[in-house]
Chains A and B, each alone.
Chain A
Amino acid sequence: MTTAEGAAGDLPAAPDAARAAHRSPAIRRMAGALRAGETGAWRWSARVAVVLPTAALAFCVAVLAVKAAPAIGVNGLGFFTHSAYKIGSAYAPTVYTNGIAHPKGSAYGVLALIVGTLQSSVIALVVALPVSLGCAFALTERLPRWVSRPLGFAIELLAGIPSVVLGLWGVLTFGPILANNVYPAIARHMPNVPVLDWFRGTPGRGEGLLTGGLVLSLMIVPIITATTADLFRQVPPLPKEGAEALGMTDWEVAHRVTIPWVRAGIIGATALGLGRALGETIVLAMTTGSINRIAPNIFGSMSTFAAEIVTQLSSSLTDATGFAVATLAEMALVLAVISVLVNLVARWIVTRTSRLGGPVGSGV
């Protein structure tokens, strides 16, 4: 560490050096020691920052695996091929399978939860992605500053609304409104042909897959919008002007130049939103009807992994053998694995598509 003395002597003093020159040598030494300590602390905090999340993740997965171990063996592969959540009889004598204790008649299967989690996330994403891109485009390219500033702020506020509030609104207001005014029209006008007949059926009271997916999309729109708007701001003006000068419409400029320029980043933002959707719990527990089954149509009630875990927790704790809780841990483990897999796929897509992306913001 160099002291200010020498520097202040022969070179034109930098502002800091000039100030330091007025202090006594003792104070200067102390300041020097402090700064050295600061550097050390900084280095250490960086190390901790790197290690901590990784360690936390590993610890989490390890604990889950240990807790889930008894259930994994007993539930077997059948766990993934049917749908059930039966704790079993608390009064009948305990049964042993491969030496693991569980109540008589217990049965668990998560097929519907896997399907439901993917379905609700996909619906949320399919709705949220175009809305978010449109919002981000309007915020960055279309609206005057005095509109886009407060609007951007409002969208960010939406991200801060506790999900339980959104869930309550979804089940009390949003769902019923849709079920009364929108869903019947969709159901009536969809032709009765394969695939599309999935959009037919009784809308019910608005608790189900579509309502859940739509409320979920409201939660991820702010995430994707904010990230994408930042990305759009990084696109240099020159390629966009080139496209305009070639006689492209604003829409063509967005779709052929601006969006592809940051395509990799948009996929990253989408993966972020998808991660949120896969793990979202309370909104889905409140708005989907929470029934462990595959929805018969898009309006039907169903459940997802996270929602099922939270709704089954208290009853599972009553299982004296602890088998229900072990199964919950297994479910959590499966959810974690699904999330990781989805992220890996997103990464893979990013590396594939960044090949033709812009030199900036493409993550290469």
Chain B
Amino acid sequence: MADDASTTSPQVAPAVTEAKLAPGPVDPVLAAIDPDRGRPADAVVTRGLTLRFGEKTILSSIDMQFARGSITALIGPTGSGKSTFLRTLNRMNDKVQGFRYEGDVLLDGASIWTPGLDLLNLRRRVGMLFQRPNPFPMSIRDNVVAGVKAHRIAKGKQLDVVAEQRLREVGLWDSVKDRLGDSPFRLSGGQQQLLCLARALAVGPEVLLLDEPTSSLDPISTEYVEALLRQLAPALTLIVVTHNLAQARRVSHHTMFFYDGHLVEHGPTDDLFERPKDPQTERYVTGRIG
């Protein structure tokens, strides 16, 4: 497996990736005030992670690093365990009947299964966006600040500020500013998904897990969300499951290919698509399996 490639952070990724995502020159002043200074270069690390439902092994011994500020795409045919892997990272699988794991997941160097760890705070730090938009049955504004309220990050008038800021961030402000008190269910699917993104961003996550975030959206909205994800990347570590190979190529720095219970190959996105090392990867990315 391409271990050498996987440890490379996106900042020093091959030129072609670099150009596409244009992170800009590293400013020494910005670097000095970088809040991530002194933290591990990898936001998330999995060590020999094996996932099972009952006796059925879904994925075995996954060793992977997710560089801080990078976008990683998870690809693979249906049932290859992408969602299972993703949902393990914020411990959404823990209460699923029959779920068992071996190995470990490190967030900033600390195991997510550390005894006594604050699960609610873990989920604040590791946000999630789902395949279909899932607004809560409350007003648009309350949707955005639902997590903020739960975590007591802000209150009172501040909530309005947070709501506006996050809605602006996802580009939804202008279309909803006159109907903040309305039901979110009358928004279009794409708008609802953006609302859910705003909601996830509002609690200030470090890692964002996205499970086929654009699969229910039209091409225009998809393009918009993709652009947004690329903007979020330097500040956030994104892990995106997608069935859309073109999307994986457009947005991600790194790609992981799951097949048949294994992480078959991973590496810089362009390498994986242009020069796959594994014949199964090649067949998948050229559209011959899956």
Contacts and interface: CB of A to CB of B under 8 A. Distances in A.
A355 B136 contact: no
- If over half of A's interface residues share one DSSP class (helix, strand or loop), that class is named, otherwise mixed; here it is helix
Nearest to A242: B134
Nearest to B148: A246
B138 A241 contact: no
Contacts of A249: 120, 150
A260 B121 contact: no
Interface string A219-253: 00000000000000000001101111111110010
A234 to B, nearest CB: 13
Contacts of B146: 243, 246, 248, 256
Contacts of A252: 150
Contacts of B173: none
A244 B136 contact: no
B132 interface: yes
Given A355-B183, A356-B139, A248 B134 contact: no
Contacts of B134: 238-239, 241-242
A261 interface: yes
B130 interface: yes
Nearest to A261: B137
B93 to A, nearest CB: 11
Contacts of B92: 241, 244-245
B214 interface: no
A247 B90 CA distance: 10
A246 B199 contact: yes
B137 A246 contact: no
Contact of A245 (B123, B137, B183): B123
Contacts of A246: 123-124, 127-128, 146-147, 150, 199-200, 203
A243 to B, nearest CB: 7
A244 B127 CA distance: 10
Contacts of A238: 130, 132, 134
Contacts of A247: 119-124, 147, 150-151, 203
Contacts of B90: 245
A239 B128 contact: no
Contacts of B122: 247
Question: Residue among A245, A249, A358 with the most chain B CB within 10 A?
Answer: A245
Contact of A257 (B119, B124, B137, B196): B137
B120 A356 contact: no
Contacts of B128: 242, 245-246
B99 interface: no
Question: Residue among B92, B121, B134 with the most chain A CB within 10 A?
Answer: B134
Interface in A320-364: 355-359, 362
B261 interface: no
A200 interface: no
Interface string B190-214: 0000001001100100000000000
B185 interface: yes
Nearest to B120: A247
Nearest to B121: A247
Nearest to B147: A246
Interface string B62-96: 00000000000000000000000000001010000
Contact of B120 (A248, A257, A357, A358): A248
Contacts of B200: 246
Interface in B140-170: 146-147, 150-151
Interface residues of A, number: 23
Contacts of A245: 90, 92, 123, 127-128, 130
Contacts of A242: 128, 130, 134, 136, 196
B234 interface: no
Contacts of A355: 183
Contacts of A102: none
Nearest to A250: B95
B135 interface: yes
A293 interface: no
Question: Residue among B119, B130, B137 with the most chain A CB within 10 A?
Answer: B137
A241 B203 CA distance: 16
B123 A256 contact: no
Contacts of A263: 137
Nearest to A252: B150
A300 B139 CA distance: 44
A327 to B, nearest CB: 48
B147 A356 contact: no
A262 to B, nearest CB: 9
Given A246-B147, A246-B200, A248-B150, A256 B138 contact: yes
B121 A257 contact: no
A261 B135 CA distance: 11
Given A248-B147, A249-B120, A357 B136 contact: no
A36 B135 CA distance: 48
A356 B138 CA distance: 5
B216 to A, nearest CB: 11
A147 to B, nearest CB: 15
Contacts of A241: 92, 130, 134
A244 B120 CA distance: 8
Given A245-B90, A246-B127, A247-B121, A358 B137 contact: yes
A260 B184 CA distance: 13
26 contacts: A238-B132, A238-B134, A239-B134, A241-B134, A242-B136, A245-B90, A245-B123, A245-B128, A246-B123, A246-B124, A246-B127, A246-B128, A246-B150, A246-B199, A246-B200, A247-B120, A247-B121, A247-B123, A247-B147, A247-B151, A247-B203, A248-B147, A256-B146, A256-B150, A261-B137, A359-B185
Interface of A: 238-239, 241-249, 252, 256-257, 260-261, 263, 355-359, 362
Interface of B: 90, 92, 119-124, 127-128, 130, 132, 134-139, 146-147, 150-151, 183, 185, 196, 199-200, 203
